[in-house]
Amino acid sequence: MAGFLDGRTAVITGSTSGLGLGYARALAAEGCAIMLNGFGEAAEIEATRAGLENEFGVAAYYNGADMRDPAQVTAMIEDGMAKLGKVDILINNAGMQHRAPTEEFPPEIWDDMLAVNLSAPFHATRAVLPQMKARDWGRIINTASTNALVASPNIVGYTATKHAIMGMTKAVALETIRTGVTCNAICPGTVRTGLSEHRIDTYAAEKGKPKEEVLEEYLEQKEPYHQPMGRFITIEEIAAAAVYLCSDAGAAMRGAAFTVDGGWTAR
């Protein structure tokens, strides 16, 4: 069955699992060809790539660029243009997290977090924009967070980089405001992916309880995890936001913080 993204192509960073793979599946379901990126076992990544092709009938490729290396990020976009023919959609999704008070936050992790969460999206965006502008169509989506809008304690690196990616989103949106290229950010609440599992692990350890016994309590905390809806946001709910932003209906979304957070920021 034809989808509204037939003929479109996407590069999605951090997409071999979790939310990034959710984006890939949602776009592929609409006919979009995909280039995956991320870490993992080679056999598992190949199975994921082949699975997209088999299930959705689209071309799917993989590039293992390390988001900490600007040269690899730029080369990934070039590889995407070579294999896909063009890059219509860029989703900057790769991210890292670390939990510690500011005075105990390891400087080397701070530097890696800046590279992955902020600099990599810049380098990818910088590389992809010229050919988007030349065709007068493109979609750049940055995975931000509720922590792009509000702060939480003990995640200074994550909060800082997510605030910064929101600023970058707005700047790029204004630079492309009279073109067919849009740039927006999606700001999820708590989604149960690998990136958030360590938060739950830490909380369970603090409470001295098994992980599965503290999930409801974890979500009900006022800080830093409180989600008034009382459940995790699903990957599918976040991916649906990306599909909307890639549609014609999303063409007027420019520099927006598309917040899907279960009421987190409504407090």
* Residues belonging to the active site: 158
- Identify the three-state secondary structure at position 55: helix
Would you give the DSSP letter of residue 234? P
Residue (of 12, 77, 9, 10) closest to 38 by Cα position: 12
How far apart are alpha carbons 253 and 118 in whole angstroms?
Answer: 21
Element (H, E) at 183: strand 181-188
How far apart are alpha carbons 201 and 196 in whole angstroms?
Answer: 9
How far apart are alpha carbons 237 and 219 in whole angstroms?
Answer: 18
How far apart are alpha carbons 107 and 110 in whole angstroms?
Answer: 5
| C-beta neighbour count of 199 within 10 angstroms | 19
How far apart are alpha carbons 187 and 169 in whole angstroms?
Answer: 12
- Identify the three-state secondary structure at position 139: strand
Alpha carbon 63 to its chain centroid, in Å, reads 16
